Structure 1
Amino acid sequence: MLVLLAFIIVFHITSAALLFIATIDNAWWVGEEFYTDIWRICQNNTNCTEIDDTFSGYATIQAVQASMILSTILCCIALFIFVLQLFRLKQGERFVLTSIIQLLSCLCVMIAASIYTNQHEEIHDINRLHYQGTFEGKYGYSFILAWVAFAFTLISGIMYLILRKRK
């Protein structure tokens, strides 16, 4: 059981790390001469512009930002509650709250990545207006990490539900 708990803790920390990287790093959409994330747009690695309310798709980006931040916070809270519940609650009562919070984190990252997937054409049309250049590119590794973090948090939330029955 101790090995299983250690694996779950490492898995949860990995999920949180993936969420932090996906939220902070600047590689949601990348091309030859630019990269963009949910915070800024950079061209030629030197000319960076913060995404603010001057962008017409700012509300969409704000929804992605808020969902990713909330997902990261919920994942960290779930880890803290997991450690508290590990020593405080009886068998059968353990980890239900942790599972619920982790599944909420999963939902938030899914919402953020889904919004970005659905609206990325609109978002990058806005980028073209600011830079007058081509924004042909592909999804970057931060976007992919967001989807991997979704899978990890979903698996983690389900593992907590299964683990509550274990001795």
Structure 2
Amino acid sequence: MLVLLAFIIIFHITSAALLFIATIDNAWWVGEEFFADIWRVCVNNTNCTEIDDSIQEFSTVQAVQATMILSTILCCIAFLIFVLQLFRLKQGERFVLTSIIQLMSCLCVMIAASIYTDRREDIHKNNPTLYALTSDGSYGYSFILAWVAFAFTFISGLMYLILRKRK
């Protein structure tokens, strides 16, 4: 059982790390001369433009930002609750709250990545020069890490549900 708990702790910490990297790092959409994320667009590694309310689809960007931050916070809270429940609750009651919070984190990261997938083009249409540059690109590793974090948080949430009855 200790090996299983150690595996779950490492898995959960990995999920949180993936969420932090996906939220902070600047590689959601990349091309030869630029890279962009949910916070800014950088051209030639020197000219960075913050995504602000001057962009037509700013509410879309805010939704992605908010859900990624919420997902990261929920994942960290779930870990703290897991540690507290590990020693405080009796068998059968353990990890249900942790599972619920982890699955909410999973839902948030899924919503953020889905919105970004659907509305990525709309984010830069207000600036024609920037849109022409960023239209030829591909999804970067931070975007992929967000989807991997979705899978990890989902699996982790299910593991907590299965673990609730184990001794």
TM-score normalized by structure 2?
0.97
- Shift, 1:2, TM fit: 0.2
Kindly report structure 1 stretches of 4+ aligned residues shifted beyond 4 Å: none
Separation (CA, whole Å) in 1 of partners of 2:88 and 2:129: 54
Q: Could you tell me which amino acid in structure 1 is paired with residue 130 of structure 2?
A: Y
Partner of 1:27: 27
Matched residue SS, 2:32: coil
Deviations 1:51-83 (A, max 9, x none): 110111111000000000000000000000000
Distance in structure 1 (CA, Å) of the matches to 2:52 and 2:61 = 9
Give me the whole-angstrom Cα distance separating, in 2, the residues matched to 1:130 and 1:150.
33
Aligned counterparts, 1:46-125, within 5 A: 46-125=46-125
Q: Secondary structure at the match of 1:53?
A: coil
Deviation at 1:120, TM superposition (A): 1.1
Amino acid at match of 2:100: I
Aligned residue identity for 1:15: S
Q: CA deviation at 1:123?
A: 1.8
Indicate conservation of the 8 Å contact 2:55/2:124, yes or no.
no
Find the aligned partners of 1:74 and 1:31 in 2 and give their Cα distance.
32
Output the CA distance in 1 between the equivalents of 2:130 and 2:10.
42
Alignment RMSD (CA, Å):
1.0
Question: 2:160 aligned with 1:160, yes or no?
Answer: yes
Q: What's the CA shift for 1:131?
A: 3.0
Tell me, yes or no, if the aligned pair for 2:110 and 2:150 is still in contact at 8 Å. yes
| Letter of the 1:51 counterpart | I
| Cα distance between partner residues in 2 of 1:75 and 1:31 | 31
How many residues of Structure 1 are paired with residues of Structure 2 in the alignment?
A: 166
* Distance in 2 (alpha carbons) for counterparts of 1:54 and 1:124: 10
Distance 1:56 1:125 in 2: 8
Q: CA deviation at 1:92?
A: 0.3
Unaligned runs of 5+ in 2: none
1:77–1:88 distance in 2 versus 1, CA, 3 Å: same
Deviation at 1:122, TM superposition (A): 1.2
1:132 positional shift: 6.4
**TM-score, structure 1 normalization:** 0.97
1:113 is paired with a residue whose SS is: helix
Structure 2: which amino acid aligns with 1:54?
S
1:130 Cα deviation (Å)?
A: 5.2
Partner of 1:146: 146
